[in-house]
Structure 1
Amino acid sequence: MSDSPAESMHRLFRHDPGLFARVAPLLGIAVPDITKATVLFSGTGNWGALACRGNTLLQLETAGQESFLLLIEAQDRRDHRRPVHWAHHAAYLWAEYRLPTALLIVCPDQDTARWAAQPVASGPVQLPALTLHPFVAGPADLPLITDPEKIRADPTLTALSAVMHPSAQGIGSALDTLSTVLRDLPDIDANPLIALTAQGLHTHPAGIIWKHFVSAIILDREREKDRVERITKFRTEHLLLLLGERGLVLSEITRKEVADCQDPETLLRWLLRAVTASTTEEIFDEDE
C-alpha cells in the first residue's frame, strides 16, 4: 500500500465511513439519506486480483432500502493509464457483489480534479460499449473549513479540507483548532486523524505546523498514560497489602482479577471497601 500524501484522503473515508454522506452534498450528488456505511476489507472475494487494494471500498445503504458500493481512490496527478483501471475496478466490483457501483476520485489539486472528472468510454466513438462517470472531489468542491464550530462538529471533514488546502489563508488557525478538538477525543478517534493529517500535509510547511500542534497532544497523552500506570500499580499493591494485613485471603481467580485490573477507579473502589469489609465477597461483588 502506498504511503503517498494523497493516500491519506481516501483513508479518511475508511476511518470515518460516514464521511461520504457529508461530502456528497458538497459535490452536488443527490444521494438518498445514507443510513449505514460499512468498510469492505481486502480479504473479501477475489479482491487481490484487482490490484486496487490501496483504495477504500464502502458498502452504503440508503433510507430507501437501497444498497450500493462506493470505491474511493486518491489521485495526485494526471495518469492516463488510470481511467482504464477505474473502469475495470468498477465493473469487477459490480459483477462480484451484484451491487450498483460508483467511483469517487479524491484529488489534492484542481487541475487533476478537472482531468479525473472527464467521462471514460470504451469502444468506438460511435459505439461506446461502456462509459464511466466518476465523481470527483477536489479543492474547489471542499473549501478549507476555518469556522471553529464547524471544525468541532466534523473534525474528519476538516482534516480532509486541510490536506486539500495546505497553502490557504487561515490554514494555521484551522489546524490549531483541529488539534484542540482532537485533544478531547478518545485515542481511537483522535490518533488516526492525527496520523492521516500528518501524512496528507507531509513535508509542506503546514505539515511542520501540524507536527508542532500535535506533539503537545502526544506528549500530554504519554504523561497521562504513565500517570495512570503508576496509580494503577500503587493501588494494586496497596489493596493486596491491606487485604494481607486484615487476614482476608483471595482465591487464585480473584487475585488474578486484581492483578489484571487496569482501571484505577475500580481499584480505588475495591481499596475503600477493603478498609471495613469482613469478607472478600463484600469487596469484589459489584452488585453490592
Structure 2
Amino acid sequence: MVSSSHEAMHRIFQKDTALLVRSLQRLLHVPFPEPVDIMTLDVDLTEIEPVERRCDTLLRVDTDDGNYLFVIESQGKKDESKRGSWPYYLSYLYEKYHCEPVLIVVTQSAATARWAAKPIQFGLPGWSSLTVRPLVLGPDNVPVITDRQEAERDVPLAVFSAITHGRGAGSAAILEALAAALKTIDREAAGMFAQLTRSGLVDPRAKEIWEELMTATKYFFDHPFAVKEREDGRAEGREEGRAEGREEGREEGREEGREEGRAEERAETILNILSWRGIDVPPAVRARVTACPDLEQLKAWSERAVHAADAAELFKGDGA
C-alpha cells in the first residue's frame, strides 16, 4: 500500500509544475534553463501490447566479489535506436536478476567501435541522471593472431580474431593459423568453431580462403551447424532440377556446365589467394591454372597457394 507521505511527496509537483524546476535551480544549484512549457503526462508506464526486446547474448558471471550479467551486443553499424534500448536492457535486467549488468559491444568496424564507446547520458548537462558506458571490443583492441602457437593457446580468441580482422591481404595468415589450431582440439568443438568462423567472416574473399583451408577437413562439413545450409542448398538444387526438366541429354549438358563452372571458380580462387597474399602471378602460371579442368588437381593447388612463397610452387612435384 502506498503511504500518504509518498503521495504527497510527488503530488506537490503536480500542483505546482514549476516547483521542480525552481527546486533544481535554487536548492541543487543545477543550471536548468527556464521552461517554456510544462505538461503533466500519464504516469502509467504499462505497455498495452507486449514488446519483444532481446539482447544478443546474456551471461551471468558469479565472482567472490559479486554477481554480474554480461549483456553482449553485436553491432554491425551505427544505430541511434540503441540509445534507448541499451539503457532499457540494463535497467530491466537489474530489476529482474538483482545483478550488476555490464554492456559489452562487439564489432568488426573501427568506426562503429568509436561510436559505440561514447557514453549514453540522460539528464541535465553536467548532471546525468543515467549514464551507460559500453565496453567495446573491436579492431582496435582485439589482437591479430597470425602465429600458430598463439592460436593454439586460445582457440576461441583466435576465432574471435579471425572474425574481427578477417578481411584484406592479412586474412590468409590469420585463417591459416586458426586452421592449424583447430587440429589440436576436440573434433566436435573444432567443427563448431570452423562453422562459426565461416558464418562470421563478412569478406567474400576471406570466406573463400577459409573454405579452401577447410576442404580437407571432414568435420567442417559434417558438423550440425553446416548440415542445414547443405540441406537448404540441396532443396534449392532439386527445385531447380524439376524446373529445368529431367531429360537425360539436357541433364548431362547441365552437369558438364556445372563441372566447368566449379573448375573456373576454383581456378579463380587460387589466383585470388596468391594475389591477396601479395604474390606475383606470371602469365604462364595464370594460363596453366585457368586451363586446368581437373578439380582434384585444382584442389591441391589451392591448398599450396596458402603456403607458397612464389607462384611457381603451386606446381612443385606435379611434373612438367
Measured against the shorter chain, the TM-score band is: 0.5 to 0.7
Distance 2:214 2:88 in 1: 40
The alignment status of 1:60 with 2:61, answered yes or no, reads yes
CA contact (8 A) 1:120 1:131 kept: yes
Q: Deviations over 1:14-56 (max 9, x none)?
A: xxxxxxxxxxxxxxxxxxxxxxxxxxxxxxxxxx955115x11
**Residues 96-107 of structure 1 correspond to what in structure 2 (within 5 A)?**
96-107=96-107
Distance 2:221 2:181 in 1: 14
Q: Structure 1 residues 221 and 83 mapped into 2: Cα distance closer, same or farther (>3 Å)?
A: closer
Q: Structure 1 residues 59 and 151 mapped into 2: Cα distance closer, same or farther (>3 Å)?
A: same
3-state DSSP of counterpart to 2:124: coil
The alignment status of 1:204 with 2:201, answered yes or no, reads no
Distance 1:210 1:221 in 2: 13
Q: Deviations over 1:112-154 (max 9, x none)?
A: 0000000001223254221101101110101311121110111
Distance 2:51 2:158 in 1: 34
Give the match for residue 147 of structure 2: 147
**Which letter does structure 2 place at the counterpart of 1:201?**
L
Q: Structure 1 residues 65 and 127 mapped into 2: Cα distance closer, same or farther (>3 Å)?
A: closer
**Which letter does structure 2 place at the counterpart of 1:61?**
D
CA contact (8 A) 1:155 1:178 kept: yes
**Which letter does structure 1 place at the counterpart of 2:122?**
S
Distance 1:148 1:170 in 2: 15
**Which letter does structure 1 place at the counterpart of 2:149?**
E
Distance 2:75 2:149 in 1: 30
**Residues 106-125 of structure 1 correspond to what in structure 2 (within 5 A)?**
106-125=106-125
3-state DSSP of counterpart to 2:139: coil
CA contact (8 A) 2:147 2:177 kept: no
Distance 1:131 1:90 in 2: 11
Give the number of the structure with larger relative contact order, counting CA–CA contacts within 8 Å between residues 6 or more apart: 1
Distance 2:72 2:220 in 1: 35
In structure 1, list runs of 5 or more residues that go unmatched.
Answer: 1-47, 223-288
**Residues 35-50 of structure 1 correspond to what in structure 2 (within 5 A)?**
none
Q: In the TM superposition, what is the alpha-carbon distance from 1:219 to its structure 2 partner?
A: 6.5
CA contact (8 A) 1:144 1:171 kept: no
Structure 1 runs of 4+ aligned residues shifted over 4 Å read: 219-222
Give me the TM-score of the superposition, normalised by structure 1: 0.56
Q: In the TM superposition, what is the alpha-carbon distance from 1:220 to its structure 2 partner?
A: 8.6
3-state DSSP of counterpart to 1:122: strand
Give the match for residue 213 of structure 2: 213
Distance 1:126 1:198 in 2: 46
Q: Deviations over 1:134-186 (max 9, x none)?
A: 10111010131112111011111111111111235542122122112213422
CA contact (8 A) 1:159 1:193 kept: yes
Q: Structure 1 residues 99 and 50 mapped into 2: Cα distance closer, same or farther (>3 Å)?
A: farther
**Residues 1-288 of structure 1 correspond to what in structure 2 (within 5 A)?**
51-53=53-55, 55-62=56-63, 64-167=64-167, 169-218=169-218
The percent identity for this pair of structures is: 29
**Which letter does structure 1 place at the counterpart of 2:187?**
D
**Which letter does structure 2 place at the counterpart of 1:159?**
V
3-state DSSP of counterpart to 1:123: strand
CA contact (8 A) 2:68 2:101 kept: yes
Distance 1:171 1:156 in 2: 17
Q: Structure 1 residues 102 and 131 mapped into 2: Cα distance closer, same or farther (>3 Å)?
A: same
Q: What is the aligned length?
A: 173
Q: In the TM superposition, what is the alpha-carbon distance from 1:197 to its structure 2 partner?
A: 0.6
Q: Structure 1 residues 198 and 123 mapped into 2: Cα distance closer, same or farther (>3 Å)?
A: same
Distance 1:84 1:170 in 2: 37
CA contact (8 A) 1:119 1:134 kept: yes
Q: Deviations over 1:178-209 (max 9, x none)?
A: 11221342233112211111111145211110
Q: Deviations over 1:240-287 (max 9, x none)?
A: xxxxxxxxxxxxxxxxxxxxxxxxxxxxxxxxxxxxxxxxxxxxxxxx
Q: In the TM superposition, what is the alpha-carbon distance from 1:78 to its structure 2 partner?
A: 0.7
Distance 1:106 1:220 in 2: 25
**Backbone CA RMSD of aligned residues:** 2.1
CA contact (8 A) 2:146 2:176 kept: no
Distance 1:167 1:193 in 2: 18
Distance 1:108 1:172 in 2: 17
CA contact (8 A) 2:152 2:184 kept: no
